[in-house]
Each structure stands twice: as structure tokens, then as C-alpha cells.
Amino acid sequence: MVDGKLLAKVVDYFMKSEIAKNARVQVQMPNGELRDIATIKLMENKLIGLYETHRIVLVTEPESHKMPKVIRSTDLT
């Protein structure tokens, strides 16, 4: 699971690179499909036995245009 602190740490790391600053941001679905991020929301949870009071939700949409095949990937989590 990724929390807001880890997300911010990874984004801050990537933002040191000019290439990453201009990179397209996508979400990979369990079936391998890549989707564009349409919206980022902060949502409050109803507190019934939950530990987290809020969640950050990435709302996706189909790719606006297909990207070429990935040749390299960096995993920081």
C-alpha cells in the first residue's frame, strides 16, 4: 500500500529530473492496460472501524493516445 507520504517522496525524487517533470503520468491496471489520470481527489472516509480518515484517489480515463512500447522501467516502492 502507498500512503501520501510515500507518494510525495517518490514524486519529489522524480521531480529532480527534467525528463520526469515532463513525463506523462498513467496508472497500470491489473490486466496490464495503461490509463491516463483524469482527476486526483482527496476523499474523507466514514469512520466505522477504519484507521485511515482520508484517501487520495486517482480517477482514470482511457489513454488519449497510445504510447510506444516501454523499453525501461524504474520501481521506487
pLDDT (tens place) for every residue of the chain, 77 residues total: 899 999 999 999 999 999 999 999 999 999 999 999 999 999 998 877 667 888 999 999 999 888 888 888 888 76
Determine which helix (DSSP H) or strand (DSSP E) holds 14, and give its type and residue range: helix 4-14
Sheet holding 34-44, edge to edge: 26-28, 34-44, 54-62
- Report d(CA 77, CA 70) in Å as an integer: 19
3-class DSSP assignment, residue 10: helix
pLDDT of amino acid 50:
62
pLDDT of amino acid 74:
80
pLDDT of amino acid 65:
87
pLDDT of amino acid 68:
86
Q: How far is CA 4 from CA 7, 9, 12, 56, 57, in A?
A: 5, 9, 12, 7, 11
